[in-house]
């Protein structure tokens, strides 16, 4: 549960990093030496010089007049984001090694805990591949595909941490308890929510939140003008207007499934049912407010925070449904 809380934190800091365009400020991946920030003015200047050679600075930050003080601000968020990732790895790996040596890990859980550790390591790799995608050619931003891989892996890991923690808690209460197995309906709810999260990642990666600042209409009409000149497949993965539109309205499909899920568990797991209702209700309000504010930084960050909490609540609810089944 502690590690899951830290994953929620890193998702939030990742959102701030994205919204402040800080993600490309560190142009190297140094897992060990990168723990410390620059400690002298010469070191800061060297980092700034590397950033000034990037396409983002040449085409965006440079013309905007960024100086060393401005660079230090964006550097902090990317460094802090990476530092939390390293800390999560230690907080998970060191106790895992200790309990493994002590023989305290229950039967059947070693492979699952190692998988969770592996997902954490993979997440670091995906984060670097995302950053690298924005450092070549004339790219002034990271690939929205790599951004979505990075975010979706974090949210999947978060759900898996919650699920495993609940299984272990049940085992502690009842030594004969078996791990919960996801039901067909639970899997459908998970897929519907995952589609909405993926759309949200693409909206963020393409800055598609700025496609419209009115709601429920987009630029005064229900259906905005989509770019179909390169085919439907391209539009579904690249057109900011279409992706913004889909993220708005697929949300209601997700809400319908989450309401159904919450109703099915309300007798046996009322706290989980309430958590699901509270999370998606708050998320809808924050989503609308983010759009109508022109993507206010802190509203957008709150939207990402509650999105992570919705994943927690949904994992909890599907776990409860699985145990009931």
pLDDT at site 294? 92
pLDDT at 28 over 70: yes
pLDDT at 225 over 90: no
158, 308 contact by CB (below 8 A) = yes
On whether both 184 and 292 belong to a single domain, the answer is: yes
Percent share of the chain, pLDDT over 90: 77
Euclidean distance between CA atoms 169 and 272, whole angstroms: 15
Question: pLDDT tens for residues 95-129?
Answer: 999 999 999 999 999 999 999 999 999 999 999 99
Residue 131 lies in a domain: yes
pLDDT at 63 over 90: no
Averaged over 6-14, what is the pLDDT?
96
Residue 153 lies in a domain: no
On whether both 46 and 101 belong to a single domain, the answer is: yes
What are the distances in angstroms from CA 320 to CA 158, 162, 163, 303, 324? Answer: 17, 12, 10, 25, 6
On whether both 97 and 235 belong to a single domain, the answer is: no
| Cα-based angle 225, 229, 231 (whole degrees, multiple of 5) | 105
Euclidean distance between CA atoms 98 and 108, whole angstroms: 17
57, 139 contact by CB (below 8 A) = no
On whether both 17 and 87 belong to a single domain, the answer is: yes
Enter the tokens of residue 97: 């090694």
Report the number of distinct structural domains present in the chain: 2
Euclidean distance between CA atoms 31 and 35, whole angstroms: 7
pLDDT at site 286? 96
Residue 170 lies in a domain: no
Taken in order 144, 282, 87, 152, is the CA torsion positive or negative? negative
pLDDT at 325 over 70: no
Question: pLDDT tens for residues 242-290?
Answer: 999 999 999 999 999 999 999 999 998 999 999 999 999 999 999 999 9
| Residue 166 three-state SS | helix
Enter the tokens of residue 175: 């030594």
Averaged over 172-192, what is the pLDDT?
93
pLDDT at 80 over 70: yes
pLDDT at 9 over 70: yes
Domain extent for 71: 1-142
Residue 241: CB atoms within 10 A of its CB come to: 19
Residue 50 lies in a domain: yes
pLDDT at 64 over 80: no
Residue 14 lies in a domain: yes
pLDDT at site 75? 94
On whether both 319 and 240 belong to a single domain, the answer is: yes
Percent share of the chain, pLDDT over 70: 99
On whether both 206 and 91 belong to a single domain, the answer is: no
pLDDT at site 205? 92
Averaged over 61-73, what is the pLDDT?
86
Give the global pTM. Answer: 0.93
On whether both 185 and 138 belong to a single domain, the answer is: no
On whether both 125 and 255 belong to a single domain, the answer is: no
On whether both 33 and 109 belong to a single domain, the answer is: yes
Domain boundary among 127, 142, 157: 142
Mean pLDDT of the residues in the chain: 93
pLDDT at 151 over 80: yes
Residue 226 lies in a domain: yes
């Amino acid at each position: 549960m502690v590690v899951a809380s830290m994953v929620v934190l890193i998702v939030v800091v990742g959102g701030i990093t994205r919204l402040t365009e800080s993600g490309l400020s560190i142009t190297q991946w140094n897992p060990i030496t990168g723990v410390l920030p620059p400690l002298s003015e010469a070191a800061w200047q060297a980092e700034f010089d590397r950033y000034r050679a990037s396409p983002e600075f040449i085409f965006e930050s440079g013309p905007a007049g960024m100086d060393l003080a401005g660079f230090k601000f964006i550097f902090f968020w990317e460094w802090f984001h990476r530092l939390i990732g390293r800390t999560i790895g230690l907080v998970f790996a060191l106790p895992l090694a200790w309990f493994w040596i002590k023989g305290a890990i229950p039967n059947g859980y070693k492979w699952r805990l190692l998988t969770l550790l592996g997902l954490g390591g993979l997440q670091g790799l995906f984060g670097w591949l995302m950053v690298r995608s924005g450092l070549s050619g004339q790219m002034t931003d990271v690939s929205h595909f790599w951004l979505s891989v990075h975010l979706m892996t974090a949210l999947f890991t978060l759900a898996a941490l919650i699920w495993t923690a609940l299984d272990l808690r049940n085992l502690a209460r009842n030594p004969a308890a078996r791990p919960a197995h996801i039901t067909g309906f639970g899997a459908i709810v998970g897929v519907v929510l995952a589609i909405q999260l993926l759309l949200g990642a693409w909206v963020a990666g393409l800055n598609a939140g700025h496609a419209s600042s009115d709601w429920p209409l987009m630029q005064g009409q229900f259906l905005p003008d989509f770019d179909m000149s390169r085919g439907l497949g391209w539009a579904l993965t690249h057109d900011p207007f279409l992706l913004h539109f889909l993220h708005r309205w697929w949300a209601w499909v997700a809400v319908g499934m989450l309401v159904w899920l919450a109703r099915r568990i309300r007798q046996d797991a009322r706290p989980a049912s309430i958590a699901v209702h509270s999370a998606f209700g708050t998320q809808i309000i924050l989503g609308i407010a983010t759009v109508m504010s022109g993507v206010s930084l802190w509203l957008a960050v709150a939207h990402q925070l509650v999105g992570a909490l919705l994943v927690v609540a949904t994992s909890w609810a599907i776990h409860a449904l699985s145990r009931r089944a």
